[in-house]
Structure formats: C-alpha cells, structure tokens
Chain A
Amino acid sequence: MVVLIGMNAYFFGLFSVEALKAEGVDNVFGGGFVDALWWSFKHLLDPGAFSENYGAPLYVILFALFNSVMGLIITGALIGFIVSAIQTAMDNARVGAATVRERGHYLILGWNRKGAAILTLLAKLRVQERIVILTEHNLDALRTDLRQNARELRGLRVLPVQGAIGSSSELRRVASKYASHVLILAESQTGAQSDLTTIKALTLLTAAQEEQTQGTQLVAEIVSKDNVGIAQVASKYAHPIVSSSDFISKTMAQCARYPGYSAIYSELFASGDFVIDLFASPELEGVLFSEVATALNHAVVLGISWHQERGGKFRRVSVLNPEPDYDLGDGDELIILRRQDQIPELLMDEKVQILEQTRALNLERPNLSEVLIIVGNQNLGLMVRELLNHAAAELRVVVACKNASSEQKAFVQRFDSIDAARLNIEFVEFDLVESSGLERLTPQEFDVIFVSADESEAYIDADSRTMLILFLLQELKHRLGLEKFPPVVAELLNAESRDLCLETPMTDAVVSTELLSIQLAQLVRDPYLETLYNELLNAGGIEIGIRNISHYVEPGDRVSAGVLTQKALEFNETVLGFRRESGTIILSPDKQQSEHFEAGDQVIVLAQQVYL
C-alpha cells in the first residue's frame, strides 16, 4: 500500500527534467511504471535514499519523505513483532507451555525425585527419541534436577512442559496419542491425592489407546498399594502398575532375609551393565532346561517365556527358575541375563549331566522372629505384613517412633486384617533428640533392625535423620564392645547418602528412588518383565538367594562356573553369579573359566523360597 502511494509521485513530476537532476531519481526503463515502482520501493526499504532526492520538486520530496518515514515505521514494527515472537517462544519454553508435535517420543507424565534416575537409565540405554516431560510442578525444580545430572544425561533430548497430567487437553498438547512409551510418575509421594491424578491420566490414556492401531507401552507408579487394584481397572489390566510403597516394603524385607541383597539387586538391575533379554534358537527344541542352563555361555538362563492365549487375547508368560527336567518346546524362549556387551553362545556339544531328580538343599533358612523398626513411616503396615509373609512362626515387632500411642492406634485402625495371632507388635516412644533412648531399645538383641526414611517434617532431610540413627547405632556397638550386631537395613532417598554410611553397621541401603526408577524405566520398555520383578520380591515364590559356597563345591577348589551351575541345578537353583568374601559381586560369569573359591565366598542363586 505504501509503495503504491509512493508511486503517485509519478503524477507530481517524478521523471520531469528537474527531478532527473537529482541523484536518486532514475529513468532506466523510460520513466514508466517499473521505474516508479523501483523508486517507491527503494525509499520504503532504505531511509538513506531520501538524501539522494536533493534538487527534486517539492512534491516528489514529500512523497520520498512519506515512504522513508513509513519504511522506518514498518521496519520497527517488523523488528518488534519478531522480537516479541521470540520472547513469547522463550517464555513458553521456560514455563513449559509449548505444544509438542512429536511422533514416537517418550512421554513422562508427572515428576518426582525418581525422574532424574529414570532419565539416567534411558541415557545409558542410548534412547534417541525425544523425551517430553509433562508436570504440574514448577519447571525450575525439574531443570535443576536435569542440570545436576547433566553429565549422565548427555545425549538425551529432553523437553519439559508444564501442565496437569490428568487433563485431556494437556495430554493432547504433549501428543500422548503418538508417544511410543508413556511413564506416569506420582506427582507427589504423599499418596491418595497423587494416585487419583495418576488413575485419571491412566483412564484417559487407556481410552485414547483403544482408538489407536499401534499400541503405546505404558507403565504407571502408584504410591499406595491400596490403589493398585483401581489403577489396574483403569488401565484395563493392559499395563504394568508399580506400587512404590509395596516395592520398598518388599525390598526391605528381602534385605533383612539376605544381608547384602540390595547390592546384588542394584548390580543386576540398576547398574545399567546388565540386560534381561529373550533368546530363541531352533537348537533348543527338545532340550532340557538343565542342559541349556549349562550350555549357554556369556549369559545366565533365568527362565522360560512363551505366548499364551487367554480369553481371545495373547499374553506373554514368563516363568523363572523352572525345573531342570523341563523340556523346551515349540514357542519357548529363554529369559536370559547378560552383560550389555556380551553375546550369548550356545555350546550344545558340551558334556552336560542330565538331571532326573532334584534334591533339597540342606541349609539354614533365613528366619526373622524379632524385628526392630526405628521411625515408622507410611509403609510401616506393608512392611509388617511382608515380614509376616516371610515369617515361619510368630513375629515380634518393636516400632520405635515419636507419638507412639497415636501411631499404634493409627496402625491398628488401618491394618486390622493383619494376622494378629502370629504378630506381637509394640510401639515404643523414641525421639532422636534424646539419643540415649536408643540404648534402652537394646537393638543388639533383635534379628534385624530397620531404619525407615522419615519425611514427616519437611524442614529436616530424611536421609540426615537416617544417617544420624546409623551413627548412633555405630556408637552403641562400639561402646558396648559388641563384635556381632544384627543386620541393619536402612531406607535412603539419595544414593550419595549410602556412601556416607559405609562406616556404620548398615548392611543394606534401600535407595528407593534408584531401585524403583530402574524398574519403571525397564518396564516401560519390556512390560513382560513385570511378573519377573514381582516374583523376585514376593514372599512364597522364586527369590534371589545367597548361599555359602560350601553347599556346592569344596572351599579351596578350582571349578568353572559351568560346573557350579550344574551343582546348583541339582537343588533346582539357577546360579546368577557369586560374591567374594571381600564383597565383590560377579554376575553372569564365563561358564568355561575356572574360578578359585574360598570358604567365605557365596553363590548368588535363583531358588524357590522355603520357610521352616
């Protein structure tokens, strides 16, 4: 429009003899339309061209002035518009208001302290897809988490977005329908409220999935075990649901049964060095499990997996540690544990002893009958229930906490269904401020001591409290001159705290954030591992057992891991690896390489749990 107005200078003598004397007026094409357009356009884009009209008629100069001024206004507006658009885009990115146009991306809904650990594992697994995080929390905290783990997260493409995970419009904004993997994290660790949001998001995603042809792999974290059933209904039993409180309670109970369990569990699942994989080969048909368990090198055969049809739907069935005489058939695949960089090798020509019958391993089974829990938290009831599941006879539990009588009342109200005939539970007043109270509890007389993470007071770091109790236990042990002390299982929230407690009597640190994150990250990629994880932690099924080497080979002997595997198969056990007396853990050892075993060494096996 401005150019057209400027071209009107033509009618006011733009190409007159007078005007052509001016430096800035040209009639290259005979002073017609093209020359007028050029002149007008030049003044709009270049304000400096105005000075070249010196000597031209007044009206021409006025038109030149108009175009130059309008040019300045338009250029200014244009720059302002661009700056404003960039600013808006930056603000949107900062507050997480961006709209996602990804396909096949990873989507993390919700954010808590497990988030960074999950991203770390995804980085280790070299995930190339963009990872979109939708959370209702302020993104500054999330960005701080990312910044603190910047080195571990190198290579990941992360986009934080702010919004409610239980809103369908927000889920559309992050293209949840097109995500390949969705991981729902509890927005807070306080339970019910957070679970409601998670369940709503699950319902929305499950409904959206029904319209899709390509399925999204989804896993959800539920804080309270009581809400798992509802979450399963919301997800139409199609996706793994992980209860964080249940997981922590079960892991702590297992650590009490086998001191050192958490280190093995971490090495297996949290180190990122090992993967659980499926292995199939036509050579396997008709072969016994005991044969292939010994013959497959550079891997541990954990179990068998196959597809099964039930109610018109196919599901993958996974079974750990089957009987040695299980004959592999059509459709059977091996569940194997291997190092990331190892390629399994089937050595079927190896001479393998065929096992006709297994026998019982005569060993002292872990049995807990007296338990001290220092500082109960919201997982107390679940932990007591889990300990009861593992207890062969009566169980005495002493809970040392603040406001003992009200805690006891709350416990009885909430867990009235707990097997009261076998449980003798007592709540004792204990406050960290009065440290001498610890000695009165006589912790040295219990079978195991649990120190739970206490997050009841926001201004005191839970790990600091736990560490203080551990130091007090250490001081007590030292002061009383005790050589033997019960195993101490501590719940920590931060992996770095574990290293600070090495000089304390702590035998196991359950870093819930670390272990649970790994499970969530693996389940979203391989949902069939859900039954495997559940089985390893549940009472009454298959467990990770830690046995003295003398049950399998004579201490001082030099044998290969293959021979050790065969020996364990006689007891229907699968060798995962071994732990040296020094504490070094060796998993998935080379089956052909000979190892020298000493009396203090232990074998790590998968075995059926037995209670005596």
Chain B
Amino acid sequence: MTHKILIVEDNEMNRDMLSRRLTRKGYEVTIAEDGAIGLDRMRSDKPDLVLMDMGLPVKDGWTATAEAKADPELASIPIIALTAHALEADRVKALEAGADDFDTKPVNLAGLLEKMEALLP
C-alpha cells in the first residue's frame, strides 16, 4: 500500500528535494506552502502522515500542529515537526504543540524514514 505524505514547507528547494526523495522511496507526496494551506490539505487529502516545517508564513508550524491536534477530524494524523539544526530548542515547543515526533533539517533520510515508518499505519 502506498502511503500518502503531506509536506508543509515554505522553501521551494527544500520542498522539491524532500518530495523527490520520498517519491523515489515509493510514497505519494502532496505539498503545502504554509500552515493554513497545510491544514486545508490535511482535511481534503487525508494524508497518512504530515512533515511539518515549523517556521512557516501565514500560520506557523506550531500553530498549525496545535490546531490539527485540536481538530477531532485531523487529530489522528501523525505529524513530524521539522526545523533547522541550530534550533533544537524548538523540539520541546513542537512536542508541546502536539507533534508526534521531531527531526532536524537538513534531514538524514534514513533517520527520517525510520521515524515515519514507526508512525505510519
């Protein structure tokens, strides 16, 4: 079964890169450019897992994660928070917002895949 992954990331290059790498690994990937669009896509596409960047325009990743987890319709969708290396202090903040796991950018694909597989149905 092909798992559907939603990448919420504002940086085009990061989005393109992660999307290509996951597609090659056999995942079906959809994308959203900011937190608000991300929530809309979660409702419309019903992804199996969300990779959520934290520093997003319009609605940041923490707010979008908290809103998703507060919405009974979306709460069961696992969210992995992504942020830059030097901002590891954000990890606590992301987990407090309701993220199921956390990973740093730039991503180590093998490590990220392990975390994804652990959360996917």
Kindly supply a per-residue 1/0 record for chain A positions 337-362, scoring 1 wherever the CB is within 8 Å of any chain B CB and 0 otherwise: 00000000000000000001111100
Size category of the binding interface on chain A: 20 to 34
Residue-wise, chain A 357-388 has the 8 Å CB interface mask toward B (1 for contact) of 11110000100000000000000000000000
Q: Which of B5-13, B39-47, B58-66, B69-77 contacts A (4 or more CB under 8 A)?
A: B5-13
Given A329-B24, A360-B85, A540-B55: A322 touches B17 (CB 8 Å cut-off): yes
Give Cα A318–Cα B85 distance, bound, in whole angstroms.
23
Minimum Cβ distance to chain A for residue B71 (Å): 27
Asked if B106 contacts A572 (CB within 8 A), the reply is yes
Contact of A323 among B10, B12, B55, B108 (CB under 8 A): B108
A527 to B81, CA, bound (A): 34
B8 to chain A, nearest CB (A): 15
Is residue A535 within 8 Å, beta carbon to beta carbon, of the partner chain? Answer: yes
Name the CB-closest residue of A to B10: A540
The reply to whether B86 and A365 contact each other, CB–CB distance below 8 Å, is yes
Residues 283-324 of A at the B interface (beta carbon under 8 Å): 304, 306, 308, 317-320, 322-323
B88: nearest residue on chain A (CB-CB)?
A: A360
Which bracket fits the contact residues of B?
20 to 34
Asked if B92 is at the interface of the complex by the 8 Å CB criterion, the answer is no
Question: Are B108 and A608 in contact, with the CB atoms below 8 A?
Answer: no
B83 CB to nearest chain A CB (Å): 10
Contact of A610 among B13, B24, B84, B109 (CB under 8 A): B84
Q: Is the CB of B84 within 8 A of A319?
A: no
Could you tell me if A325 and B110 are in contact, using CB atoms closer than 8 angstroms? yes
Q: B108: which of A319, A358, A360 is its contact (CB, 8 Å)?
A: A358
Which chain B positions have C-beta within 8 A of A542?
A: 13
- What's the A-B contact tally at a CB cutoff of 8 Å? 59
Q: Does B93 contact A (CB under 8 A)?
A: no
**A482 interface contact, C-beta 8 A:** no
A470 to chain B, nearest CB (A): 35
Does A323 contact B11, Cβ atoms closer than 8 Å?
A: no
* Most chain A Cβ neighbours within 10 Å, of B85, B87, B111: B85
A421 at the interface (CB under 8 A from B): no
Q: Which one of A319, A326, A358 has the greatest number of beta carbons of chain B within 10 Å?
A: A319
Q: How far is the CA of A359 from the CA of B10 in the complex (A)?
A: 23
**Contact A325-B109, Cβ < 8 Å, known A535-B13, A540-B10, A540-B11:** yes
Q: B3 contacts the other chain (Cβ, under 8 Å)?
A: no
B119 at the A interface (CB under 8 A)? no
Please, which residues of chain B bring their CB within 8 A of the CB of A356? 108, 110
The answer, yes or no, to whether A88 is at the interface (CB within 8 Å) is: no
**Cβ–Cβ contact B17 & A326, under 8 A:** yes
Closest to B13 in A: A319
Nearest Cβ distance between residue A479 and chain B, in whole angstroms?
Answer: 40
Pick the most buried of A359, A535, A608, A612: most chain B CB atoms within 10 A of its CB. Answer: A608
CB of A227 to closest CB in B, whole Å:
21
User: Is A608 a contact of B17 with CB atoms below 8 Å?
Assistant: no
Establish whether residues A306 and B108, one from each chain, have CB atoms under 8 Å apart when the complex forms.
no
* Residue interface bits B2-31, CB-to-A below 8 A is 1, else 0: 000000001111101100110010000000
Chain B min CB distance to A388 (Å): 13
Minimum C-beta distance from B121 to chain A (A): 27
* A541 CB-CB contact with B under 8 Å: yes
**Which residues of A sit under 8 angstroms from B11, Cβ to Cβ?**
540-541
Interface flag for B37 (CB, 8 Å): no
Q: Which of B14, B55, B105 has the most CB of A within 10 A?
A: B14
Top 7 A-B pairs, shortest CB-CB distance: A360-B85, A610-B86, A323-B106, A572-B106, A319-B17, A319-B13, A610-B84
Given contacts A319-B20, A358-B85, A540-B55, 9 further A-B contacts (CB under 8 A): A317-B16, A320-B13, A322-B17, A329-B24, A357-B108, A531-B12, A608-B84, A608-B106, A612-B86
26 A-B pairs whose Cβ atoms sit less than 8 Å apart in the complex: A317-B20, A318-B13, A319-B13, A319-B17, A320-B13, A322-B17, A323-B106, A323-B108, A325-B110, A326-B21, A326-B109, A329-B24, A357-B111, A358-B85, A365-B86, A531-B12, A540-B10, A540-B55, A541-B11, A541-B13, A541-B14, A608-B106, A610-B85, A610-B86, A612-B86, A612-B87
